[in-house]
Structure 1
Amino acid sequence: MPDPRGLVRRIDAATPPGRDRAVNALRAFAITGIVLGHWLVTALVADGGALHGDSPLRHMPALAPVSWALQTLAVFFLVGGYVAARSRASYPGGHLAWLRSRLARLFRPVAALLVLWAVVSAGTLAAGTGTATVRTLLGLALSPLWFLLVFAALTAATPLVARLHPLWPLAVVLHVDLLRFGFGAPACLGWVNVAAGWLVPYCLGTAWARREPGRGVRWALLLGGAAATAALVAWAGYPASMVGVQGASVSNLDPPTLAAVTFGLAQCGTALLLLGPLRRALRRPAAWAAVALLNLCAMTVFLWHQTALMAVTAVGLSLGRLPGLHTVPDGGGWVLARIAWLPVFTLVLLVCRAAFHPYEAGRTRPPERGRTRRASRVVRAHRADRHAAADVHGSV
């Protein structure tokens, strides 16, 4: 059995002295927010033998503030811009070699997700499951991939983005929304904001890589972003929810609106203000080990958390319509029941992490046979913690 205390010590010792641990903590916070947000606002309702998607925010709009805490994409793009700009500046090779190294860890685990869901979809259709149910499940399972495509595009453009002031993409978002909502332009114009909207925090990240913002800038981002978001929601008709709500005429996230971007600015200001306290807290080896281990499997967690939710939902359906899992999310009872299901989702996600993390870490190997298999199990049991500690050195 690996020694937890020894693992903590090795992770702490393997961390380069110049590593800004607070950056990893912000990324861990962003991933956790995304996962919990999906688990809490995604409902799969069993109705007449079929599953269809729903959201508690549609039935209980007073819960919109939950989305303010759990929609953390801006923080992820902020950290992504910072890390990409720093690593590009110090990379010894050319841009293409750097880009391949950055994108490899993003897309290795995607292949496993696509293969598994291709098999699951074919199997469920062959078993007689309705196409509407399969479409709902497949849509949820593959929904994280849009994020990867946008993130990959911004990563590829990092040398250009690093020269761009965040006000330029913010101005694009403002004008797109003016045309859409003020002058009746086609709704498809809003998809320009998929790039422009997330360019704003990404540009802030690249600017941070050049020089850490002062406290005045951080407070301006927080207070200015919060005030602008409140004004847009109160007087300009933007939804209060910072995530999409089924049935709503306007979504703040699909595509991003000006309100989502100004809300992201407030989040970025908060994140930058927390750098000092996080750096002090993460001097403790145990706290840092928890953050480092989550970062090492961040992409696996991101890609598979919806699959974990659906696996629990599908297995639970054999027991009947369970509260908080298959019922309409229209009251406080559903919320309490869904919170009670979170540990089960987490347990299944840990199983997914154990099965699919090697694709992210790049340590997949062919099957072993005979005595080699038994020997390898013993060796891996003793080396598991050493692998984690070693990976920390190269993790960003």
Structure 2
Amino acid sequence: MGENRGRGRGWVPSGIRRAALRIDAATPPERDRAVDALRALAILGVVLGHWLVTALVADGATLRAASPLGAMPGLAPVSWAFQTLAVFFMVGGHVATRGWTSARARGGTYGAWLAGRLVRLFLPVAAVTAVWTVAAAGLVLGGASFVTVHTVVKLALSPLWFLLVFAVLTAATPLLLRLGPLWPLAVVLHVDVVRFGLDGPAWLGWVNVAAGWLVPYTLGAAWTRGELEGPRAGRVLLVGGTVATALLVGCAGYPASMVGVPGAAVSNLDPPTLAAVTFGLAQCGVALLLRDRLRRAMRAPLVWAVVALLNLSAMTVFLWHQTALMATTAVGLLAGRLDGLHTAPDGPRWVAARLLWLPVFALVLAVCRAAFHCCERGPRAPRGRATRVVRVQHRRDRAGSKAARGA
């Protein structure tokens, strides 16, 4: 059967086709491949979104951060397509609650389960932190301005805030098994009412860092409980989230951009606002509606192999994608100020040039992935064991899925 599915792919080198077929054959039939596909799409959305809206403008010997969304607010829909963190948190909540249910069914302890998950989260952080500690010291000793050092280090390490929030929610997973998303949504609503409607303190918004991302995370728990099966749940989330976001942006004055814009008075993401959370609900609705289509698409061995391998490198890709952008920018300075790389993001010319730089960013990220993926997957496995690594991960998820269905 696998060989038949592989036919008609003459444009694919035979070695790649055989490897894809091995990965496909190593995947248990019970595995919900839509989960992996959604995680991969969410990671790619974050990466492409950052590459498209993050600019490092060369101003003499100084690099400063800028965004095309500031000069071209009409590009706000770009942030709607690529700000996919809500989908990532929903998938993370689904996988974590399923994994904890499985561990509990096997008699595992909370400490062992949590340690296993946090090691997989934070082991890759050590490499990126070490590299940027050395890089920052080198920039300072080399005479770089404080603005330049602050800009590049902040961008490079900005993904770490996500890991901290995700780790806290992961640790709280046993307490969230039955929590519905309406409770944290109500917290976000009240925080914004006090913050914006009653002129409350700005620091109150940071409550939404936990409460805002808890909304999609608990949606993932509801998915595990079987409460989001069928198209109705997806449609309700999509329509309700879209209408609420439109009203908040159009009538309540929330920014249209779903990512932060340097210099803007209010950011929808830093910290999350009610508009960002309702927009995330709409995105989660789309994700749920796409599950069946993704399951069908993942039947193609080559497509599934790409998704599976991206999932195995998810943390490396996430942690190093900003470094890839900055490495390209730094090397490019040797050739002078280049359009789309060092120039101000203030017009269509910059957008067109930036699109041409995306393949270069991807190539540099591939180099970073090759260099640092070992930190994510642990000690190097003997040659020929790649599919066995995939199989072990799939067995764990299959056990979690069975335990969740039994619960």
Same fold per TM (> 0.5)? yes
Deviation track 1:111-153 (CA, whole Å, cap 9, x = no partner) reads 0001000001111111111111011000000000000000000
The one-letter code of the counterpart of 1:223 is V
Q: TM-score, normalised by structure 2?
A: 0.91
Of 56, 59, 77, 2:68 maps to 56
Question: For the Cα contact (< 8 Å) 2:64–2:151, is it kept in 1?
Answer: yes
Deviation track 1:65-121 (CA, whole Å, cap 9, x = no partner) reads 000000000000000000001111111311111111111111010000010000011
In the other structure, the counterpart of 1:18 is 30
In the other structure, the counterpart of 1:5 is 17
Q: Which runs of 4+ in 1 moved over 2 A?
A: 383-396
In the other structure, the counterpart of 1:152 is 167
Of 52, 74, 77, 1:65 maps to 77
The one-letter code of the counterpart of 1:16 is P
1:193 aligns with 2:213: no
Of 281, 292, 296, 1:280 maps to 296
Q: TM-score, normalised by structure 1?
A: 0.93
Of 224, 228, 252, 2:268 maps to 252
1:208 aligns with 2:223: yes
1:311 aligns with 2:327: yes
State how far apart, in whole Å, the 2-side matches of 1:61 and 1:395 are: 45
Summarize the Cα distance change of 1:309–1:100 in structure 2 as closer, same or farther, 3 Å threshold.
same
Structure 2: gaps spanning 5 or more residues: 1-12, 398-407
Summarize the Cα distance change of 1:305–1:21 in structure 2 as closer, same or farther, 3 Å threshold.
same
Pairwise CA distance, 1:364: 5.3
In the other structure, the counterpart of 2:351 is 335
Question: For the Cα contact (< 8 Å) 1:99–1:156, is it kept in 2?
Answer: yes
The one-letter code of the counterpart of 2:274 is L
Of 82, 100, 113, 2:128 maps to 113
**Matched length:** 381
Aligned to 1:3, the other structure's residue is in SS state helix
Question: For the Cα contact (< 8 Å) 1:296–1:392, is it kept in 2?
Answer: no
In the other structure, the counterpart of 1:393 is 394
1:351 aligns with 2:363: no
Pairwise CA distance, 1:290: 1.0
In the other structure, the counterpart of 1:82 is 94
Summarize the Cα distance change of 1:344–1:395 in structure 2 as closer, same or farther, 3 Å threshold.
farther
1:31 aligns with 2:47: no
Pairwise CA distance, 1:388: 5.8
Aligned to 2:51, the other structure's residue is in SS state helix
State how far apart, in whole Å, the 1-side matches of 2:85 and 2:330 are: 28
Of 339, 342, 346, 1:326 maps to 342
In the other structure, the counterpart of 1:182 is 197
Of 239, 248, 256, 1:232 maps to 248
**Range moving further from structure 2, 302-311 or 215-224:** 215-224
**Range moving further from structure 2, 208-217 or 326-335:** 208-217
Question: For the Cα contact (< 8 Å) 1:78–1:205, is it kept in 2?
Answer: yes
What RMSD in Å do the two structures reach over aligned CA positions? 1.6
Aligned to 2:370, the other structure's residue is in SS state helix
1:298 aligns with 2:321: no
Pairwise CA distance, 1:17: 2.0
Structure 1: gaps spanning 5 or more residues: 366-378
Identity percentage of aligned residues: 67
The one-letter code of the counterpart of 1:179 is V
